[in-house]
Structure 1
C-alpha cells in the first residue's frame, strides 16, 4: 500500500469509529474526505503525503476540526449545510469539500500542525468509574494527577455532579451533571473525598482566550450539540475558579509528582484519558518505570493507583482500566465506554 493510500484509508478507519459512536455526520464527512482529497491545495498535498502513521497521529480529526471551525465561523455556507446534515449525497459532499479546500486553504492548513485536544468533560464519568473503585479499595481520600490535561476540563472532576447507574457522586448543586447511559450493575456506592486535582499538558489551552475556546468547540463533533453546551458550561466554571494546570512534559511531571511526599491516608492516583498514544514510546516507558518504582513503595497508609480511559482500536471502543497498590497491581478492565462518555458498560 502506498503512503497516499494509507493516508486516505485513515479517514475510512475514522468513519468506522464515528459510525460505531453514533456520529453519522462526522462519519459521512470522513468518508467523503477519503475520496475527495487531492493535490490541488497545500492542505490536500500535506494530508496525502503525511509522513507519520495517520491514525495514531489523529490526522483525520485534525482536518475535521479545521473544517468544523470554518462551519462554526459561518465563513463557508456550503460546508455548514454538510455539517447540519442538509447535504448527504456522497458526490455532493465531495464537491463541497473540494470547493472548501480551494477557498480556505490558508485557514485549513494550520489545523494539521498538532493533534486535536478534545478534552471532553464527559470522559470524567469514565475516570470517576475508576476512582470509585480506588475509593472502594483504599478509602475515600484521593489525590489526583492527570496527564494530557489539554484545557483542564477533566480537572473539574471534583466540581461535576455524576449520576452513574443511580450512584450520585460530587456536589449536587453543580452547574454540570454528567449522567451517561449506564449499561449494567451500578458501581459501589462509597464516599469519595478528592483532596486535590493537578494536571499537566505540553501545550495547555487557555480557555479564557476566546480563540482558544473556539478551537475546543471546533473539535466537538457536530453530531453532539449537548457536548457543546457542556463545554461552554465547563469553560465558565474555569473562568470562575481556575484549575491547577501546569505546562510541561508528562514524563518529567509524573516523575516529579511521584517523588513528592504523600500524605498518610490519601491514595495518590495517576489518571488520563485518550492521551497515551500521543506520548510516544520513550515517555510511556518513563511513566511506566516511575509508576513501578512508586508501586514498590506503596503501603496501605499511602496507596497508589492508576486509572485510565484509553482506546482499544481493534474493538473500536474505549476502555477503563485500573490497577492499584498494594495488593491490586494487576491491571483490570472495569468498563467499556463510548469515546465521549455517552455510555458506560461495566465488564
Structure 2
C-alpha cells in the first residue's frame, strides 16, 4: 500500500504563484479537508496532489501544473474537485462511485488520471471560475451577529447587502428558523430549520426583522436552472449530507420568491449601495462569507474605503454594520467579526465557526 503523505496546514502567501505554490495549495487543501471532517474530499485532493509530479491527466492537469494565477487565492484544488464531484452526481463516471462511497484505494492518482483524461471537455471549464460554495448553514452566524447588533442598541430592522452572494441563499434568511444555543429566532413555521452545534454562551436573546435583502456576484447562480443547481451541489463536500437537504430547501424557497442578486463586482456594488441615502430606523448591513480571499487587493481596498466613508456619515438613526465570516490565515479558523458605525470602527470577533455552518463557538 502506498504510504499516505502527511500534509499540514501552513502559513502561505495567498497571492503566491508558480509550481511550488500550486503544490502547496493542494497540500493545504488536503490538510484543511482532513481537519474539517471531509476525508473523501481530502483523498481526492491528495490524489490530485500526486498527479502534479507526473505527466498524466491530459490538458486539464497541464493547465493546473502551469496555473498562471495564485492557486491558493483562486481555490484551484476545489475547482477541479468540484468538477469531479459533478461527474459523480450526474452519474457520468461509474469509476468514481467507490471513491465517493468512502472506499479507500491505493491507486487514487491513477484512477483520477483516467477519469480526467476521459472527461477533459467537461472538466476544463470548471477551472475557469472560483467555487460557488453558497451555504445556508453560514446564515446562522449572520443571524447571531444581527442579534448582537440589536443588543448593542442598533435598530432591529436590517437591510442586508451581501457581496459574493452566489445564488442568494443567505439573502433568504428571513425565511429560515434558527436555534442558536437555545435562542430561537425566525418564522416558527419555516421549512428551513438551522440549528448548528453551539459552543459557549448563547447570543443575546431577542428578535429582528429583515426589511430588505440585495446581493451581488460576478457570476450569480440561478437556482431554478438544474445545471446551475448541480454546480452548487458539486461544491458541497459529499461527507456533509445535511448540506444537500438545506440546498434542496433553499431551491424550493427560491422558486416561490427568488432572491434579488445583480451581476456586479463587489466593490462596485458596495460603492453604489452606500451612495444611496439611508432609511431612518434601519440598520444597513454589508455582509459576506468565505468571499474576501477571492477579491483582488485593490478591490478590497475600495470596499474598505467605501465602508469608512459611509461609516463617518452614519448616525444612531441610520447606522451601518459590516459582518464578515472569513478565514483567519494565521489560525486557519473561520471567524465571525463585526464592525458598526457609530460605535467605533474596530472589528469585534464574535465567534469562530465551521466553514459550512456545522458549529459555532461564541465569544461575543
Give the TM-score of the pair, scaled to structure 2. 0.92
Alpha-carbon distance, 1:328 to partner: 3.4
User: Which of 335, 341, 349 pairs up with 1:325?
Assistant: 341
2:100 alignment counterpart: 83
Deviant stretches of 4+, over 6 Å: none
Alpha-carbon distance, 1:59 to partner: 0.1
Gaps of 5+ in 1: none
Within the alignment, does 1:60 sit opposite 2:80 as a pair?
no
State the Cα deviation string for residues 99-136 of structure 1 (Å, max 9, x = none).
Answer: 11121112111100000011111110111121111111
2:356 alignment counterpart: 340
Equivalent pairs counted in the alignment come to 345
**Cα RMSD, aligned residues only:** 1.4
Within the alignment, does 1:29 sit opposite 2:44 as a pair?
yes
Matches of 1:281 and 1:98, distance apart in 2: 35
State the Cα deviation string for residues 323-344 of structure 1 (Å, max 9, x = none).
Answer: 1111132101110000101000
Matches of 1:326 and 1:2, distance apart in 2: 40
What are the equivalent positions in structure 2 for 1:89-108 lying under 5 Å apart? 89=105, 91-108=106-123
State the Cα deviation string for residues 146-184 of structure 1 (Å, max 9, x = none).
Answer: 111001111111111111001111111111101100000
Within the alignment, does 1:234 sit opposite 2:217 as a pair?
no
What are the equivalent positions in structure 2 for 1:107-118 lying under 5 Å apart? 107-118=122-133
Alpha-carbon distance, 1:9 to partner: 2.3
State the Cα deviation string for residues 285-342 of structure 1 (Å, max 9, x = none).
Answer: 1111111111111111111110010111322211001011111321011100001010
Matches of 1:97 and 1:36, distance apart in 2: 9
Alpha-carbon distance, 1:2 to partner: 9.2
User: Which of 13, 16, 21 pairs up with 2:31?
Assistant: 16
Q: Which moved more, 1:132-141 or 1:184-193?
A: 132-141
Give the TM-score of the pair, scaled to structure 1. 0.96
What are the equivalent positions in structure 2 for 1:120-159 lying under 5 Å apart? 120-137=135-152, 138-159=154-175
Conservation of the 8 A alpha-carbon contact between 2:17 and 2:69: no
Alpha-carbon distance, 1:27 to partner: 1.0
Alpha-carbon distance, 1:282 to partner: 1.4
Matches of 1:135 and 1:198, distance apart in 2: 20
Alpha-carbon distance, 1:190 to partner: 1.6
Q: Which moved more, 1:333-342 or 1:273-282?
A: 273-282
Conservation of the 8 A alpha-carbon contact between 1:8 and 1:35: no
What are the equivalent positions in structure 2 for 1:157-236 lying under 5 Å apart? 157-236=173-252
Alpha-carbon distance, 1:140 to partner: 1.1
User: Which of 87, 90, 109 pairs up with 1:70?
Assistant: 87
